[in-house]
């Protein structure tokens, strides 16, 4: 009865931590494609190939449902996977929709026409590939009208977080926020469109100012997953063991993950 959580590296641990706290009875298989991170600078075909290979491995580990806790994969590969690749008895879901539902104050499954919402000016911080895909804007347009989105591609932030260089990550975040503010001086809200970014969320908040509401994904995804599994309990797979898989160096990834989560985490080779 395992559920899969996939990320290009360590950022998805923010989602894993939230879903484990929300659903302590469910075993999770986490897959970090650390050998190929970051995805944000890759082509859509490359992202698709890497993501499908990882998800296949998670299906083999007993997962019937996999969450792409990677905004780049959700933006660049998810729709193609769902239309052409995912077996009929499996499900692969992304992380954009819970975030947009919170931003637009819509309930899960609300399929009413798009409407005006309180937030009018949204700053989106994401990887270059996510920004290029315009997936966030597309999903937002299904639910809201009259919202101006200004996207900022945050090159280098994921690399710095993966290497544990939080001083560099902070400097890059402040630089990217300054660049965004030159284009949109007064955003109402900011969306952290990468699951690595909650690790430096306070830096984003400080740089943006206290009047800007910052949305990140971990707890939102956890609540949506709990709701989904309550409605679709059959999607909890046959796997019974919590596993941490990586394409990278297991010891290095384990050490970094333990540092991030502040509890022991032991990765094995995928």
Q: Return per-residue pLDDT of the chain as tens, 270 residues.
A: 689 999 999 889 999 999 999 999 999 999 999 999 889 889 999 999 999 999 999 999 999 999 999 989 998 899 999 999 999 999 999 988 888 888 888 766 677 888 899 899 999 999 998 899 898 998 899 889 999 999 999 999 999 988 889 999 999 999 999 999 999 999 999 999 988 898 899 999 999 999 999 988 888 899 889 988 988 888 887 768 899 999 999 999 999 999 888 899 999 999
Residues 32 and 106 in one domain: no
Among 200, 215, 230, give the residue marking a domain's end.
215
Q: Are residues 84 and 116 in the same domain?
A: no
Note if 154 is an active site residue.
no
pLDDT value of position 100 = 86
Q: Is 70 a catalytic residue?
A: yes
Q: How far apart are CA 208 and CA 233, in angstroms?
A: 40
Same domain flag for 240 and 180: no
Strand, coil or helix: what is 221?
Answer: helix
Of 186, 181, 159, the C-alpha closest to 256 is: 159
pLDDT confidence of residue 108: 60
- b or e along 220-245 (b: 16 or more beta carbons within 10 Å of the residue's beta carbon)? bbbbbbeebbeeeeebbbebeeebbb
Say what the pLDDT of residue 232 is. Answer: 87
Phi, psi of 177 (to 5 degrees): -65, -40
**CA-atom Rg of the chain in angstroms:** 18
Q: Which domain holds residue 45?
A: 2-94+218-269
Return the pLDDT at 20: 95
How many whole angstroms from its chain centre is CA 9? 11
Which pLDDT score, from 0 to 100, does residue 109 have?
65
Query: Are 175 and 121 contained in the same domain?
Result: yes
Within this chain, do residues 65 and 17 fall inside the same structural domain, yes or no? Answer: yes
**CB-based contacts of 150: which residues, under 8 Å, 6+ apart?**
121, 122, 123, 124, 180, 183, 184, 187
- Residue-level pLDDT at 217: 85
Last residue of a domain, one of 172, 192, 215: 215
Residues 116 and 176 in one domain: yes
Neighbour-count burial of 151, counting CB atoms closer than 10 A to its CB (0-12 exposed, 13-18 middle, 19+ buried): buried
Catalytic residue among 61, 70, 124, 160: 70
Rounded Cα distance, 108 and 148, in Å: 23
**CB half-sphere exposure, 257, CA atoms < 13 A:** 29
Active-site residue (options: 10, 124, 173, 194): 194
CB atoms inside a 10 Å sphere around CB 9: 27
- Same domain? For 127 and 182 the reply is yes
- The model carries a pTM of 0.85
- The predicted pLDDT at position 212 comes to 96
pLDDT score of 69: 94
Q: How far apart are CA 190 and CA 147, in angstroms?
A: 12
Q: Identify the pLDDT of residue 103.
A: 85
User: Are both 76 and 106 inside the same structural domain?
Assistant: no
- CATH number of the domain at 69, please: 3.40.50.1860
Quick one: 72 and 115 in the same domain?
no
Predicted local distance difference test score (pLDDT) of residue 1: 64
What's residue 134's pLDDT?
Answer: 92
Is residue 51 located within the same domain as residue 8? Answer: yes
Instruction: Note whether 34 and 60 are same-domain residues.
Output: yes
Number of domains making up the chain: 2
Instruction: Show which of 179, 194, 215 is a domain's final residue.
Output: 215
Same domain, yes or no, for 89 and 122?
no
């Amino acid at each position: 009865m395992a559920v899969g959580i996939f990320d290009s590296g360590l950022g998805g641990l923010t989602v894993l931590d939230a879903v484990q706290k929300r659903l302590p009875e469910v075993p999770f298989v986490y897959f970090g494609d650390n050998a190929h991170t970051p995805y944000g600078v890759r082509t859509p075909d490359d992202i698709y190939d890497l993501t499908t290979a990882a998800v296949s491995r998670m299906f083999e580990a007993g997962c019937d449902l996999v969450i792409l806790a990677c905004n780049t994969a959700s933006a660049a590969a998810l729709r193609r996977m769902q239309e052409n690749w995912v077996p009929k008895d499996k499900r692969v879901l992304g992380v954009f929709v819970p975030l947009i539902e919170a931003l637009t104050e819509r309930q899960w499954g609300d399929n009413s026409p798009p409407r005006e919402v309180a937030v009018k000016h949204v700053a989106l911080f994401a990887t270059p590939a996510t920004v290029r895909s315009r997936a966030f804007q597309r999903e937002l347009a299904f639910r809201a009208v009259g919202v101006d989105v200004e996207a900022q591609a945050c090159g280098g932030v994921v690399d710095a977080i993966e290497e544990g260089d939080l001083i560099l990550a902070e400097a890059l975040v402040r630089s990217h926020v300054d660049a965004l503010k030159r284009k949109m001086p007064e955003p109402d809200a900011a969306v952290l469109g990468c699951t690595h970014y909650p690790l430096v969320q306070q830096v984003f908040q400080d740089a943006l100012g206290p009047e800007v509401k910052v949305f990140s994904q971990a707890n939102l995804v956890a609540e949506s997953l709990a709701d989904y599994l309550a409605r679709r309990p059959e999607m909890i797979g046959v796997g019974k063991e919590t596993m941490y898989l990586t394409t990278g160096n297991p010891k290095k990834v384990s050490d970094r993950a333990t540092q991030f989560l502040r509890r022991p985490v032991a990765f094995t080779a995928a």
